[in-house]
Structure 1
């Protein structure tokens, strides 16, 4: 009865919040009804031009503009990740997928996977993304401690919701990337590039909400000031009360970020980035696959109702994250420059993790296991010094990069306490009492140091033919009580060749050999969080890119990667055992296909196979959570007969995936649909926009993820609304 009473009150609060969202968006746009005082927006993707300079300013020197090389539209002009920072996308000899700000705006992206669903081969791992996004790329799970970066250099921990409102773009560098980043999993890295102040001032206020009853507000302010505009600042902030698509599951998320820059002299520029995130949400239970039956197969339960909460809503996971990065760029001469970065990121969590297990497939009756993990902390520190120079040997042009880098990762002791409660998967009951279960489990502090020196030379043999040769000397030191210490050094080569067939078409081939981090054991393993030994991976890739009429970028790549495979064995111990091969073909296109239509589309076919193992039954099997096919299409149409109006839609497909590497069961593939519209007008000279995006428009029930002995249930349909006023 107590739970039912709370539900009625929660429903009343939801209705009140929903009415508030409608009222807020209506107030922002009331003036738009006065048609004689308004002007329609001709292109929702373009900012307005600044007024012409006064005549009195015509004799002044042109101001120095310190801006990011931002791409307008769906197609990227350049990349900002790793050794390819600032390069034309056509010249990059690797697969880098870029999700631009315009794509994220059109989709109304609020989390990391929202943006990365456009990237071929990216799928969710283990969870449904309610609290944070565990991800895999090309069948290989990313490491939450080392695979995610801010501004291409600072590793941040991905055990928390990642806001997209303060990001200019998100880039995924596929495959082995150890030349620049050292010991990282060969799935690749995800780079989030912060918004910075440009030449145009920005002041915007956004009201936001959704059909579940969430309500919040966001602000974005950017200015340049000082003589010659040498100072820049951009501040983003958001505060949102969150009602999830799961009944009774609510919380909050908020953040504030600042990006500052100062052009001290014509040679020296300083930058500082700060991002602080706070979240609280109840994590839905993952569903543990049962043990295999006599036939060696696992019987999976029916898909449960995604709107039903399986756990207690009195035990949320609370998390905070603070990241800071300082960068200095100095022009030594016209041809030589140096940059220095220093950063730190700290994530703290008091977590309640839930797993539904030991159930009857037919009736749904089973047991919840709750894990209370207070005092979790993940600290990343990074320092990097890099020198870049351009010179010639005879008629051959060189761009040489030499760098030193050091990462420190630290996680202190904490203790996990276990509880159980009865539950039914198909007809959930309120969880009011938790019974202590088993003995507490201690996690012992981890210390990891990942350092190295690297050099790579971009050699322009002709105006069309380019070779990049690189080498890195790495050292990886890891220690944790109760596990063997590691101190590994290795020299890793890499090389590529690219050729411009035409000014707008290039082909490339690359080889990378790297000593990669194999990550750590999942929380569900008997050796939970234990660091695995470093492993050597090898990758070859060939590809072609073309830019169509300077409006769309088309890419096609063939890849082959070999990696020591990490598995959970029959004793539930996660360890390196054998080798897996990941090879496939990947296609993407993004940009304007007509003056009124922009799209971003992708597809990948992946053949992933365990090629050897101490367990002969695993050989030839597909690694867990690895689909053979993923594909996506998102398109926006700017309606020419009504300036300022655009409509969009998306289709996202993920193929079937095995629940474990023994392929004892598979979750079905799914196709999700989205739809949206935006309308922008000028009201008294100010830009006002209204936006609605419908996620999972068909309200499809689906398994969102497998892996680490858990299944995630996808979230139901949600209508997201926002209205923005730009001053």
Structure 2
């Protein structure tokens, strides 16, 4: 195991060290001056960037889950890291902008303007289990997660059961908040776009106290949201705080709070057409409409899609000895949503005539309560050095009763939509979607055994006790899910690895629009095998991995019921290059080949077919050129490719492949000794028309959009 250049405490539990200090060599862990002074070295367990933004896209240290502060070279799984420098260069404003930099990520069934329903490696990310704040708290992704207060975004791909318990094997999205560091931060931003958006925000961070034992980082942002879709706009707000207290040299406390609100209009989607010539829902053909003009709105005017989210998590870390430490963490994530569904179906592809139908649910409320207790430390048994992690976690999910109102279908046209006043809708029936309570309790143990300087053996297991209770059914299961891995360090800058992981995943909640909407399906077992390698080349990290996932198959069947039936096998190869390939050129490049196939469904027309919404080929490349001779000017460009995707389980239609192009530039200068950064970014500059989402409801991707911003660092 490579030793870090700067440390305050000995390396504790490489897979999960509550009091491990930062890697001085990690580019995105160093402040703008490149220094790592004593105050910053004591920033326990969190990557901190202070002062102005760096230009490097390089990332060497992981902050997600059991891998917190682990070197990428010692991490035996595929992890995509999108650092703040890359987010800034792209003018990113949400998770959609961040995750487009990692291959194999698509969206499903909801408009990206209102929410992000991500799919990774062909597996849907559960909105209530697969998104984490600062590596632990499960936040609820039913409205776009803001990133103005985030330092980086990580995607741990595949099964992650040991640390996170019940979650789908798509991956874990971890958002890491900005924290106070040794250099004060005072930053003000104004931004907007060509669609009429306009917003402003602030970022203030300070350490204070006689010995800088306190730290506070406060962020705020508010904006009007303009979109290219006719009469679809909104507003959003964010307020957050990250607070630190180093009570003693051994005891630290952290508190993170954030509140964000978004008021938005639903633009309306297109229901996947029915198959012509099908018998009992099997066979036949589906003809998709051409991708419509993305500026058209199909939903009634001012159809509300509003979300409110509050996330709070507190943590205490105590260094029992130089080699043993303990952590206690408790958090609550609460989200409320008002949602209109407005789907255009029964479309005559010649004339465009169809009908809008859907529902309005004014009272969707969700809550996660998460507790985690851990002890980690080091033990030597002869020539073997063990880094041990023992933990307990309990996540209680509640969903309140929901009264969903349906409205009478109204006429609409795909090619020439008309304005439909929302007040003119006639709500006819109210359906009660009964609430539920899910409790995921687990105990876990992991041993990372260092066999000499080159071998790292990983073994662990999680005991799972999972209960679901609702008006419709109760379900309980207990099981043990193992984890095993092996890392071989070829050189100090290269490694090979292999892992095997089992996990219990929720098959999900039946989506709105299905006959069993809101129903929670029984959990199923997922298994993953992965083998790969990493190497540092010049100033970049190069990664290559093969993965194989076998899981229960969940989909919407021919009777529009969300079911678990059969198995899905997802296997493929993923490669990436991230960092500085030249002193003045930073890149993030990734590609994925994915073969996702359905098996044992009992339906001949479905077995052997591709899993819906899974592109075989996908990839992206983003590069920024920032030479000194341009005097503070940086130029960038990005290309994003998504291959064709099966539109539904029987593969009776395919969504065409598409490629989008982005261009951007920035200029950094000084105004009265204060740093000023001006940026402009243009997305989809070729005005490509494409389906942005797969699944039962299709939404068109956005046309060419220009964004701009100005940031003043005082």
Q: Which residue of 2 aligns with 1:24?
A: none
Is structure 2 residue 223 aligned with structure 1 residue 224?
no
Tell me by how many angstroms 1:441 deviates. Answer: 1.5
Whole-angstrom distance in 2 between the partners of 1:689 and 1:437: 50
Is structure 2 residue 47 aligned with structure 1 residue 69?
yes
Is structure 2 residue 77 aligned with structure 1 residue 80?
no
Give deviations 1:358-379, integer Å, cap 9, x for gaps.
Answer: 1111111111113110111110
Tell me by how many angstroms 1:599 deviates. Answer: 0.4
Normalising by structure 2, we get a TM-score of 0.92
Q: Which residue of 1 aligns with 2:355?
A: 367
SS at match of 2:182: coil
Is structure 2 residue 298 aligned with structure 1 residue 328?
no
Indicate which of 431, 443, 446 corresponds to 2:433.
Answer: 443
Tell me by how many angstroms 1:102 deviates. Answer: 0.7
Is structure 2 residue 712 aligned with structure 1 residue 722?
no
1:271-282 mapped onto 2 (5 Å cutoff): 271-282=254-265
Tell me by how many angstroms 1:312 deviates. Answer: 2.2
2:28–2:47 CA contact under 8 A, matched in 1: no
1:404-419 mapped onto 2 (5 Å cutoff): 404-419=392-407
1:331-342 mapped onto 2 (5 Å cutoff): 331-342=319-330
Relative to structure 1, the CA distance from residue 97 to residue 63 in structure 2 (aligned partners, 3 Å threshold; closer, same or farther) is: closer
Which of 185-194 and 432-441 deviates more? 432-441
Tell me by how many angstroms 1:64 deviates. Answer: 7.2
2:31–2:48 CA contact under 8 A, matched in 1: no
Give deviations 1:214-254, integer Å, cap 9, x for gaps.
Answer: 11101000000002211000011100011111121111011
Relative to structure 1, the CA distance from residue 600 to residue 50 in structure 2 (aligned partners, 3 Å threshold; closer, same or farther) is: closer
Which of 264-273 and 128-137 deviates more? 128-137
Q: Which residue of 2 aligns with 1:459?
A: 449
1:198-597 mapped onto 2 (5 Å cutoff): 198-294=181-277, 296-419=284-407, 420-432=409-421, 434-436=424-426, 439-482=429-472, 484-549=473-538, 551-597=539-585
Tell me by how many angstroms 1:286 deviates. Answer: 1.6
Tell me by how many angstroms 1:44 deviates. Answer: 13
The answer to which structure has the higher helix fraction is 1
Whole-angstrom distance in 2 between the partners of 1:310 and 1:640: 49
Tell me by how many angstroms 1:439 deviates. Answer: 2.7
1:50–1:200 CA contact under 8 A, matched in 2: no
SS at match of 2:341: strand
Q: Which residue of 2 aligns with 1:30?
A: none
Q: Which residue of 2 aligns with 1:622?
A: 610
Relative to structure 1, the CA distance from residue 688 to residue 364 in structure 2 (aligned partners, 3 Å threshold; closer, same or farther) is: same
1:78-227 mapped onto 2 (5 Å cutoff): 78-227=61-210
Relative to structure 1, the CA distance from residue 560 to residue 49 in structure 2 (aligned partners, 3 Å threshold; closer, same or farther) is: closer
Relative to structure 1, the CA distance from residue 48 to residue 147 in structure 2 (aligned partners, 3 Å threshold; closer, same or farther) is: closer
Whole-angstrom distance in 2 between the partners of 1:51 and 1:546: 25
RMSD: 1.9
SS at match of 2:628: coil
Tell me by how many angstroms 1:52 deviates. Answer: 14
Is structure 2 residue 699 aligned with structure 1 residue 712?
yes
Relative to structure 1, the CA distance from residue 46 to residue 675 in structure 2 (aligned partners, 3 Å threshold; closer, same or farther) is: farther
Give deviations 1:431-463, integer Å, cap 9, x for gaps.
Answer: 126443653221001100001000000000111
SS at match of 2:697: coil
Tell me by how many angstroms 1:207 deviates. Answer: 0.9
Whole-angstrom distance in 2 between the partners of 1:509 and 1:63: 34
Whole-angstrom distance in 1 between the partners of 2:313 and 2:30: 30
Corresponding residue pairs, total: 675
Relative to structure 1, the CA distance from residue 405 to residue 50 in structure 2 (aligned partners, 3 Å threshold; closer, same or farther) is: closer
2:269–2:298 CA contact under 8 A, matched in 1: no
Is structure 2 residue 588 aligned with structure 1 residue 605?
no
Tell me by how many angstroms 1:525 deviates. Answer: 1.1
Whole-angstrom distance in 2 between the partners of 1:575 and 1:351: 23
Tell me by how many angstroms 1:629 deviates. Answer: 0.8
2:266–2:302 CA contact under 8 A, matched in 1: no
Tell me by how many angstroms 1:318 deviates. Answer: 1.7
Tell me by how many angstroms 1:692 deviates. Answer: 0.3
SS at match of 2:660: strand
Whole-angstrom distance in 2 between the partners of 1:51 and 1:712: 47
Is structure 2 residue 665 aligned with structure 1 residue 687?
no
2:378–2:388 CA contact under 8 A, matched in 1: yes
Q: Which residue of 2 aligns with 1:13?
A: none
1:64–1:229 CA contact under 8 A, matched in 2: no
1:630-649 mapped onto 2 (5 Å cutoff): 630-649=618-637
Tell me by how many angstroms 1:47 deviates. Answer: 5.9
SS at match of 1:703: coil
Whole-angstrom distance in 2 between the partners of 1:588 and 1:621: 28
Tell me by how many angstroms 1:66 deviates. Answer: 2.5
Give deviations 1:28-53, integer Å, cap 9, x for gaps.
Answer: xxxxxxxxxxxxxxx99996549999
Q: Which residue of 2 aligns with 1:652?
A: 640
Whole-angstrom distance in 2 between the partners of 1:206 and 1:705: 31
Which of 123-132 and 644-653 deviates more? 123-132
Whole-angstrom distance in 2 between the partners of 1:430 and 1:93: 53
Tell me by how many angstroms 1:83 deviates. Answer: 1.2
Relative to structure 1, the CA distance from residue 619 to residue 205 in structure 2 (aligned partners, 3 Å threshold; closer, same or farther) is: same
2:48–2:178 CA contact under 8 A, matched in 1: no
Give deviations 1:678-721, integer Å, cap 9, x for gaps.
Answer: 000012210011000101111111111111x1111111111101
Whole-angstrom distance in 2 between the partners of 1:49 and 1:141: 41
SS at match of 1:212: coil
SS at match of 1:105: helix
Whole-angstrom distance in 2 between the partners of 1:412 and 1:672: 40
Whole-angstrom distance in 1 between the partners of 2:34 and 2:541: 29
Whole-angstrom distance in 1 between the partners of 2:190 and 2:601: 54
Normalising by structure 1, we get a TM-score of 0.91
Whole-angstrom distance in 2 between the partners of 1:605 and 1:252: 38
Whole-angstrom distance in 2 between the partners of 1:310 and 1:408: 38
Relative to structure 1, the CA distance from residue 652 to residue 417 in structure 2 (aligned partners, 3 Å threshold; closer, same or farther) is: same
SS at match of 1:106: helix
2:343–2:357 CA contact under 8 A, matched in 1: yes
Relative to structure 1, the CA distance from residue 638 to residue 62 in structure 2 (aligned partners, 3 Å threshold; closer, same or farther) is: closer
Gaps of 5+ in 1: 1-42, 54-60
Gaps of 5+ in 2: 1-26, 278-282
Whole-angstrom distance in 2 between the partners of 1:560 and 1:268: 42
